[in-house]
Structures are given as C-alpha cells and as structure tokens.
C-alpha cells in the first residue's frame, strides 16, 4: 500500500484563523448590521503603486507581440530582476552577485520549498512567538523542532543558548507577530553562534522595508560572517503590496557550503528541476519596485501603514498598555490588560467595540496573554478602532 508522508499526522489543526473566523461569523449572525474594525489582518489594503501597474501593463503588451513575447522564464529568475535586486542591495552597501539572488513566488512558497536543502534528520530552531508556517513546514519535513520561547524580559528577542544549536535557525526581523527587531549586536551573536555550530540561519526579512531606525540591520548580510551561514528570504508582499500578485526573492551566498556542498549550487539544481520560472509579467512588475520612482511610491504606502501604527501606539500609550513593535514594524504586540487571556480579550473587544485583533497564543504557547494588532487596515477603520480602544480601556 502507498505510504503517505506520515509526518502530516503530527500537524496540529490550524486553529487560530479558523477559530477567529468562526467567532466573527457568529457575531455577524447576531449583529448583521455592525461594522467590524479588522485590526487582525496580515494582508495589505493599499493597491499596487502606479510604477508597478504601468510595468505590468507593458509586460502584458509584450506578451501580445511576436517580437517581445516571452515563453518559459529562467528558473532562478529573469536576469533583469536578479540584477535589479542585487543593485538594490549594493546601494545599501551589501555586495551580492546577480547569481546569488533567486526570484520566487513569495516568501511562504520559499520558506516551505527551501527545506529541500536540508537532511530529513535536521533540527530546526523556532523562536516563539513565530509565524505559524515555520513549525508546520518543518513538521511536514519530519524535522525535529526546538521551540525557543521569548518574552517581555528579553523584549521578545532571544539570545543564543546551548539548546539553540540546531541545524536550521529561523530568525525573523522585524518579527511577525511581535514587531520586535534584532539589533546589530544581537544579530552578530546569532551569526557567530551559527558559524561556530555549522548551523544555517533562515533570515525572514519579509518586513525589512518597515525598519526606519538606521542603526537597525535590514539584512543579515550587514553582519560580518553572514555569508557563510545565512540564507535571506524576502517578499514584495508587504513592501510593495504583492500579497495577491505573488513575488519575492531569496539570497543564497556562494560561500554557504556544508559537507562540501554549495547551497547556492543545490538551489540552482532544485529550481531548474522544480520550477519553470516565475511569470515574465510579474517579474516586470517586480523590477519596477526597484526603480527610483517605484521606491518613492512604495514608501508612500509604507508611510500610510506607519501612520496607522502611530494612531494605535498613541492609543495604547494613552491607555497605559505594555506593547512592543509598531515603530519599525507593521505589527503591535501588546499585553492583554487586567490579566485577561488572549481569547478572552479577543471576545471582549469584539463584543464591546467590534475591534478584531489576533490572539497571541496562536503564535506559540508563550504568546498566551498577548495580542497582535496589524496596521495594514484602512485609515478610517484604524482611527475609529483607536478611539474605541481608548474609550473602552482607559
């Protein structure tokens, strides 16, 4: 009999968002006319910027022209986009060759696929609270998972410790859900630790564009020694509104070698086997993000979300609730007031002021008693949600 991948039986139900939607649905049935303020969403609300839309239109026209038509694309990415991404890093003082950049269909796809590079018997360190896909992708791959909890005492930024010596180390900065950002000194510690132990860091930089404090690293390659121990996974989803359009990129330096095998070379082999490249049209749209005009326009959208963050942090300050994130990140992570549990606080906000957030325990056991707000909603809803929070909790 065919034996399925039995590791799937070890997956826990993805209970968080299902449970939220059930609760919201039940509330809607009881209050069909109520407006709900969705501060839980991780999806963007601003449309793609003009420079991207124009490039997408032009690329569609190319596909209608026998001279400019593109069929299969190079599996590792179109040369024009690999070059644009490498140049984008160069402008920030990070030297990469175009061949170290791989175009992807988004960070989620890549975070799952990249596990092909690691042995079945690998261990994976996941610092919690964490983006739930890290755990699930490693369960599916049969990896041993080491959960490293973090908390208020370390600002939700854990330090290396002997138990953390895993084969694969996930670092997400700015973090989803906590909004915490690793400082240069903290990343230096992790890079040293990974090099000493032969680990590989998977650096999830999906939210790097939200870092405004210049002293904070936006890329792991700002840290000396990272080229021998880190893969960086990036996304245009939150940076440029590509959540529904799908595009990202991954950096694998040539110096990243384990057991004599180049991970860059292995990934080339993987991509040339498992993909036929990302759509030409989308890659043209993506390249527009890295032009001067594209950068200016995406900044406007990011500033819009940052103003939402300012409104919410101002409300939390006024109420006197402990939180982190919000400044260099689109997420705010708060301690539920009055000792309430995450789900209790969720129900309270929904019932009393129709504000929806995300209960912290959905991101790992140490998220119990915490709550996440996202700043990706509309300005109108965020303003009203902030007003309602102050009225209810002050």
Task: Give the integer Cα–Cα distance in Å for 323 and 309.
Answer: 12
Which two three-digit tokens encode residue 313?
């942090």
CB nearer ligand PLP, residue 108 or residue 297? 108
Show the tokens assigned to 345. Answer: 């606080």
Cis peptide before 9 (omega within 30 of 0): no
In this complex, which beta carbon is closest to ligand PLP, that of residue 129 or of residue 160?
Answer: 129
Residue list 193-252, contact with ligand PLP (CB under 6 A): 204, 206, 235, 237, 243, 248
Q: Which C-beta is closer to ligand PLP: that of 56 or that of 171?
A: 171
Q: Which is nearer to ligand PLP, 206 or 332 (CB)?
A: 206
Which one of residues 108, 328, 342, 358 is an interface residue with ligand PLP (CB under 6 A)? 108
Stretch that binds ligand PLP, among 83-91, 102-110, 285-293, 346-354 (CB under 6 A): 102-110
* Cα 124 to Cα 264: distance, rounded to the nearest angstrom: 20
In terms of C-beta density within 10 A (0-12 exposed, 13-18 middle, 19 or more buried), how is residue 348 classed?
A: middle
Site string for ligand PLP, 318-357 (x = CB under 6 A): ----------------------------------------
CB of 172 to ligand PLP, least distance (A): 5
Q: Please select the residue that binds ligand PLP; options are 135, 172, 316, 389, rule is CB under 6 A.
A: 172
42 part of the interface to ligand PLP, by CB under 6 A = yes
Contact region with ligand PLP (CB under 6 A), list: 57-65, 103-111, 195-203, 217-225: 103-111
Please identify which residue in 106, 217, 241, 325 interacts with ligand PLP, judged by CB under 6 A: 106
Which of 131, 345, 346, 376 binds ligand PLP (CB under 6 A)? It is 131
Of residues 271 and 389, the one with the C-beta less far from ligand PLP: 271
**In angstroms, what is the minimal distance from the CB of 235 to ligand PLP?**
3
376 neighbors 44 (Cβ within 8 angstroms): yes
Q: Which residues, in sequence order, are CB contacts of 195 under 8 Å at separation 6+?
A: 225, 228, 229
CA–CA dist 370, 360 (Å, integer): 5
Task: Give the tokens for residue 130.
Answer: 């964490």
Binding region for ligand PLP (CB under 6 A) out of 21-29, 100-108, 298-306, 314-322: 100-108
**Distances 32 to 123, 350, 354 between C-alpha atoms, Å:** 48, 14, 12
Q: Is residue 389 within the footprint of ligand PLP (CB under 6 A)?
A: no
Q: Report in angstroms how near the CB of residue 173 gets to ligand PLP at its nearest.
A: 10
Task: Specify whether the CB–CB gap between 393 and 319 falls below 8 A.
Answer: yes
Q: Which of 176, 178, 308, 329 binds ligand PLP (CB under 6 A)?
A: 176
| DSSP assigned state of 98 | G
Whole-angstrom CA distances from 242 to 34, 43, 52, 213, 298 are: 30, 10, 10, 24, 11
For 38, the token pair is: 């969705």
**Range 253-292 burial, b when 16+ CB lie within 10 A, else e:** beebebeeebbbebbbebbeeebebbbbbbbbbbbbbbee
Give the shortest CB-289-to-ligand PLP separation in angstroms. Answer: 13
Q: Should residue 377 be labelled a site residue for ligand PLP when binding is judged by CB under 6 A?
A: no
Which positions touch ligand PLP (CB under 6 A)?
42, 106-108, 131, 172, 176, 204, 206, 235, 237, 243, 248
């Amino acid at each position: 009999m065919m034996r399925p991948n039995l590791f799937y039986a070890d997956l826990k139900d993805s209970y968080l968002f299902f449970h939220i939607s059930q609760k919201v649905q039940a509330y809607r049935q009881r209050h069909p006319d109520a407006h709900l303020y969705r501060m839980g969403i991780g999806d963007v609300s601003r449309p793609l910027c003009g420079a991207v839309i124009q490039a997408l239109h032009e690329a569609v026209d190319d596909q209608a022209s026998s001279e400019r038509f593109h069929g299969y694309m190079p599996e590792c990415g179109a040369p024009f986009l690999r070059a644009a991404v490498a140049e984008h890093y160069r402008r920030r003082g990070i030297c990469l060759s175009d061949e170290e950049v791989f175009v992807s269909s988004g960070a989620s796809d890549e975070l799952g696929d990249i596990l092909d590079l690691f042995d079945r018997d690998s261990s994976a360190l996941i610092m919690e609270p964490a983006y739930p896909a890290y755990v699930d992708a490693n369960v599916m791959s049969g990896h041993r998972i080491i959960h490293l909890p973090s908390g208020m005492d370390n600002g939700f930024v854990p330090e290396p410790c002997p138990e953390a010596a895993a084969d694969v180390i996930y670092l997400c900065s700015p973090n989803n859900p906590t909004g915490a950002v690793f400082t240069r000194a903290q990343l230096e510690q992790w890079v040293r630790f990974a090099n000493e132990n032969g680990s590989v860091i998977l650096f999830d930089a999906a939210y790097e564009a939200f870092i405004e404090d210049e002293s904070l690293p936006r890329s792991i390659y700002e840290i000396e020694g990272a080229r021998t121990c880190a893969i960086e996974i990036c996304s245009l989803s939150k940076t440029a509104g590509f959540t529904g359009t799908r595009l990202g990129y991954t950096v694998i330096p040539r110096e990243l070698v384990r057991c004599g095998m180049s991970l860059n070379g292995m990934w080339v082999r993987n991509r040339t086997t498992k993909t036929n490249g990302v759509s030409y049209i989308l890659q043209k749209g993506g390249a527009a993000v890295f032009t001067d005009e594209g950068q200016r326009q995406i900044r406007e959208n990011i500033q819009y979300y940052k103003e939402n963050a300012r409104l919410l942090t101002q409300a939390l300050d006024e109420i006197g609730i402990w939180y982190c994130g919000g400044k260099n990140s689109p997420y705010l992570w708060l301690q539920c007031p009055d000792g309430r549990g995450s789900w209790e606080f969720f129900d309270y906000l929904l019932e009393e002021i129709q504000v929806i957030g995300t209960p912290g325990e959905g991101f790992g056991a140490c998220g119990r008693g915490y709550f996440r707000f996202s700043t990706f909603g509309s300005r109108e809803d965020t303003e009203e949600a902030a007003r309602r929070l102050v009225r209810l909790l002050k």
